[in-house]
Structure 1
Amino acid sequence: MYTKLKPAGYIPRLLDSLVSNRLQQFGAVEICGTRWCGKSWTASAFAKSIVRVDENTALYIEDPELALIGETPHTIDEWQDVPSIWNIVRHRIDDMANSAGQFILTGSSTPPKDEARHSGAGRIGRVRMRTMTMTETEESNKSVSLAGLFQGEFEPQKSNMGLEDIARIICRGGWPALQNKNRCVDSKYVIEDYLDVLFDISLRKAGKDSTTARRIAKSLARNLGTSATLKTIANDAAMGEQRALTEETISSYLTEFSMNYFLDELHGWDAPVKAKSRVRTKPKRYFDDPSLGAALLSLNPNRLLEEGQVFGVLFESLCIHDLWVYASLLPEASARPLYYYSDSDGLEVDVIIELRDGRWAAIEIKLGESKVDEATKNLQRLRAKITANPAARNSEPEFMAILVGKGEYARQRKEDGIYVIPIDTLTA
């Protein structure tokens, strides 16, 4: 599967299987995701030749065809710095009768929409990469499989993680550069450098003000995991400023955050596929890595342990992060298999995983075991609501579970069949 260009010390990623699969199906594969999440290393591991566009951008702007020279699979790293490369790759694939596995493109941002740029449909497959999960950093013992739960496979397992470990993992994040056990790297400097590059270089390049971008990001950190309105974010970001920010301005910054894979959205879910609530429910927002929220709030592990409410929100962010990756590997997973549930009766459930074949699962997230009974009631209410009308033919959930930070065992409750799963036991 890997080539001789695989970097020394490469840590295999869960998405490697998706990259390998897409290379067998499409003429090119785009690996996209936030900066420093490992895209270039993964692309190198599958490539036989590499061009790094950001190292000689002027040359490739002058003649984009040069970026395509090399033995296939040929990696074009940071292609978005010369957006015209996309269409040239597409045309080359057409010229080669759509032969699979010709190119691997990596991108840390999405270029502005251009009517002249083709979607790449049918020619360029897409793999969304995030920072490393607890499975990839080997902090999960990998004893409870998400795929297994969908198949009804489960065995009780022991957990060995405490809240101190969770706080450390949140503040360090899943950045590959911070996982080398032989290097002593202070995570806060790496994460602060990431934020500086995002605000002072990437956002400025997009015509945005770096100070405003930073204030909006801090507001998002304070409202993490909520469906905060644009007005709320505008009021937060304008604190101390005479000139108020408009909702249109906030929306434009959020779009740039998303295009730089800094911000992700969790959309609302309802059982009927055509339910209006799927599009009317405001999305919840999360950063691409939980450490970004901790950094924007100036939290280290010790302080995080003292901030119970914030700790719970950032733990939810960690779980959402890992679930995005694990769920994307399920055989019937769509491009965005994760949702949340909220209704007019005040019922909210943190995560719904829905597959293309209609199967679904519901997951609540709680930092400790003390909130398990509360989470159980939410899950039971959801099940009752979804299945209440026989004429609607809504299916029962494949499983319901509560993800916890600190718990002695991964287990299934005898009274209701709901799983209680410490996050350090979960894997794909």
Structure 2
Amino acid sequence: MGYRRRIVDDLLDELFPHLAAISLEGAKGVGKTATGTQRATTVFSLTSSRERESLAARPDYVVEAPAPVLIDEWQLLPEVWDRVRHAVDDDSTGGRFLLTGSAGVAPGVRIHSGAGRIVSITMRPLSFAERNLTSPTVSLGELMSPSRTDVVGSSDVHLPDYVEEIIRSGLPGIRDLPPRARRVQLDSYLARIVERELPDNGLAVRRPATLRAWLAAYAAATATDASWSTILDAATAGEPDKPARQTVDGYRDHLLRLFLLDPVPAWSPTFAPLKRLTATPKHHLVDPALAARLVGVETAGLLRGDGDRVSTSTGTWVGALFESLATQSVRVYAAAMDATVGHLRTRDTGREIDLIVEGPDRRVVAIEVELAATVSDNDVRHLHWLRDKLGDRVADLVVITTGPHAYRRTDGVAVVPLALFGP
């Protein structure tokens, strides 16, 4: 198969000719190396011990080699980061270096941040638009614009198709495998994180079964802002010997460094009349297929409503995973337009909005995600509350659904099937 162009390619096409060094960061398997290779004349793969030894002995190879130079998994030889940084200081000509990394620097290793020299871009699994099931007809970028955007289009993607996409994964090397091979590969991916990646990145996992249980509990808290203590209690129910808080914090911090956890931060508007908002992130794994695998529910089970959730009495497990799928896609689209994504919730839980996309001009698109084909007045009440509070700062209001049609309600809210939503 040939290279499948990604949304981040457009961003790289725009930026790389003008920037000397870009670091593509993200979880293993999201496609960073394949994307970087499309632009590289020279490739150093630091997963190879031979290439690591060569660069360790002579870091100047990265400067002497024909540009553009791709340094794959640079964190395995952290000193190469500083060599690139110094090279950019000496010559800031665009298009010189691409670095890819699936982990931050291990604790205790000191490097310069790279600020002002190396620009970091996060790469995530395939968004729904990148899976080529249908062509999007509604653009997040256009919804962010000052002009009123038409919302039209029809899709033949239905709930079973969305559930299948959750299970198939957005990791390019996994999604096209036969079902049994895909399950084995997802299990192997998770096992490698616990058994290899965490130890290689400075965390001694003394109780792998406890870490696996914590991951499963975190997965069961997908699309919630459950407290860390609640997740730990769910992971160790009935166990008198619970791991120490410091141990669990170590799990979380390292899993964030490996990009396996991909929480959505709480949105905190600047200069806006909104008070008493929570600061707690909403929990998501980098790919909802991993969450489904950790909880142990496949396509038929999701459609039946199987799957226990942590810290919520409303909604279904498949609804949480659909929200996670939509969230992952929206974050890819938002990154393409230099926008940020957060969630909104008041401390009294009286108001809650799944996603707030904020552009560079501070205008926002507020998005609710509904596992339904139709939208009621009750589904949009929090969106209208936000518009009442922020006025013209709200560029648009959206409900993402599993329905067949994109349209505007009479109250102006855009109703968009996930399959028709794109960058």
Normalising by structure 1, what TM-score?
0.89
Q: How many residues align?
A: 405
Cα separation, 1, equivalents of 2:20 and 2:108: 22
Which moves more between the two structures, 241-250 or 11-20? Answer: 241-250
Partner Cα distance (2:374, 2:359) in 1: 31
Match of 1:230 in 2: 228
Shift of 1:268: 1.8
What aligned pairs does 1:4-19 form with structure 2 within 5 A after superposition?
9-19=2-12
- 2:272 and 2:409 map into 1 onto residues whose CA distance is 33
Report the counterpart of residue 152 of structure 2 in structure 1.
Answer: 156
Match of 1:70 among 57, 65, 74: 65
One-letter amino acid of the counterpart of residue 283, structure 1: P
Do the aligned residues in 2 keep the contact of 1:363 with 1:400 (CA within 8 Å)?
A: yes
Distance 1:425 1:37 in 2: 22
Aligned amino acid, residue 367 of structure 1: L
For 1:46, what is the secondary structure of its paired residue? coil
User: Which residue of 397, 407, 419 maps to 2:394?
Assistant: 397
Contact 1:268–1:339 (8 Å) recurs in 2: yes
Quick check: 44-53 or 207-216, which moved more? Answer: 207-216
TM-score in terms of structure 2 length: 0.90
1:366-405 equivalences under 5 Å are: 366-370=370-374, 372-384=376-388, 386-387=389-390, 395-405=392-402
Note the 1:195-206 alignment, pairs <5 A.
195-205=190-200, 206=202
1:236 deviates by: 2.1
- Quick one: structure 1 residues 27 and 274, their matched pair in 2 at CA, closer, same or farther if it must change by over 3 Å? farther
- What residue number does 1:141 align with? 135
User: Contact between 1:134 and 1:140, CA under 8 Å: does it hold in 2?
Assistant: no
Q: Which residue of 2 aligns with 1:219?
A: 217
Residue identity over aligned pairs, in percent, reads 28
Matches within 5 A, 1:177-326: 177-179=173-175, 184=178, 186-205=181-200, 206-209=202-205, 210-273=208-271, 281-307=279-305, 309-326=316-333
One-letter code aligned to 1:382 = L
Q: Alignment partner of 2:30: what SS?
A: coil
Deviates more, 1:200-209 or 1:306-315: 200-209
Equivalent of 1:410, from 406, 413, 416? 406
Aligned residue number for residue 111 of structure 1: 105
- What secondary structure does 1:368 align onto? coil
Closer, same or farther: CA 372–252 of 1 in aligned 2, 3 Å = farther
> Could you tell which deviates more after superposition, 369-378 or 157-166?
369-378
| 8 Å Cα contact 2:278/2:347 also seen in 1 | no
Measure how far apart 1:212 and its partner are. Answer: 2.8
> In the alignment, what sits opposite 1:4?
none
Query: Tell me, what secondary structure is at the counterpart of 2:160?
Result: helix
Q: Secondary structure at the match of 1:353?
A: strand
2-structure distance, mates of 1:303, 1:421: 26
Q: Which amino acid aligns with 1:22?
A: L
Deviations for 1:129-176, whole angstroms, at most 9, x for unmatched residues?
Answer: 001111111024211111122232224211211111011000111111
Structure with higher strand content: 1
Shift in alpha-carbon separation, 1:228–1:248, aligned structure 2, 3 A: farther
TM superposition shift of 1:267? 1.7
Gap change, CA 1:208 and 1:372, over 3 Å in 2: farther
Corresponding letter in the other structure for 1:247:
R
Match of 2:38 among 45, 60, 63: 45
Write the distance in 1 (CA, Å) between the matches of 2:143 and 2:77.
Answer: 44
Q: Decide whether the 8 Å contact of 1:268 with 1:277 is kept in 2.
A: no
> Is 2:167 the partner of 1:171?
yes
> Which residue does 2:366 correspond to in 1?
362
Q: Which moved more, 1:271-280 or 1:196-205?
A: 271-280
* SS of alignment partner, residue 284 of structure 1: coil
Cα drift, residue 113 of structure 1: 5.3
Residue matched to 1:86: 81
Q: Letter of the 1:153 partner, please give it.
A: T
Could you tell me whether the CA contact under 8 Å between 2:62 and 2:69 is conserved in 1? no
Structure 2 counterpart of 1:403, one-letter code? I
Secondary structure, aligned partner of 1:263:
coil
Task: Give 2:93's aligned residue.
Answer: 99
Q: 1:148–1:154: 8 Å Cα contact kept in structure 2?
A: no
Matches within 5 A, 1:307-346: 307=305, 309-330=316-337, 333-334=338-339, 337-345=340-348, 346=350
Question: In the alignment, is the contact (CA less than 8 A) between 1:140 and 1:427 conserved in 2?
Answer: no
- The alpha-carbon distance between structure 1 residues 276 and 198, as it changes in their structure 2 partners (threshold 3 A), is farther
How do 1:25-40 residues align onto structure 2 when only pairs under 5 Å count?
Answer: 25-40=18-33
Deviations 1:267-289 (A, max 9, x none): 22244348896995111111111
Q: Is the 8 A contact 2:169 2:175 kept in 1?
A: no
Deviations 1:357-394 (A, max 9, x none): 1211111000103554321122122222x24xxxxxx6
Tell me how large the CA RMSD over aligned residues is. Answer: 2.2
Aligned mate of 1:120, from 114, 119, 125: 114
Do the aligned residues in 1 keep the contact of 2:401 with 2:417 (CA within 8 Å)?
A: yes
Residue type of the alignment partner of 1:362: A
Give the aligned residue type for 2:347.
S
Instruction: Give the match's secondary structure for 1:266.
Output: coil
Give the residue type in structure 2 aligned to 1:213: L
Q: After superposition, what is the alpha-carbon deviation per residue over 1:189-245, rounded to whole angstroms, capped at 9, x for unaligned?
A: 221121111111011222232333212111101111111212112222223433222
Question: 2:67 and 2:230 mapped to 1: Cα distance?
Answer: 49
Deviations along 1:309-357, one digit per CA (max 9) or x if unpaired, are 1000000000000000001112xx24xx101111134110101111121
Question: Paired residue for 1:5?
Answer: none
Structure 1 unpaired stretches of 5+: 1-7, 388-393
Distance 1:53 1:276, change over 3 A: farther
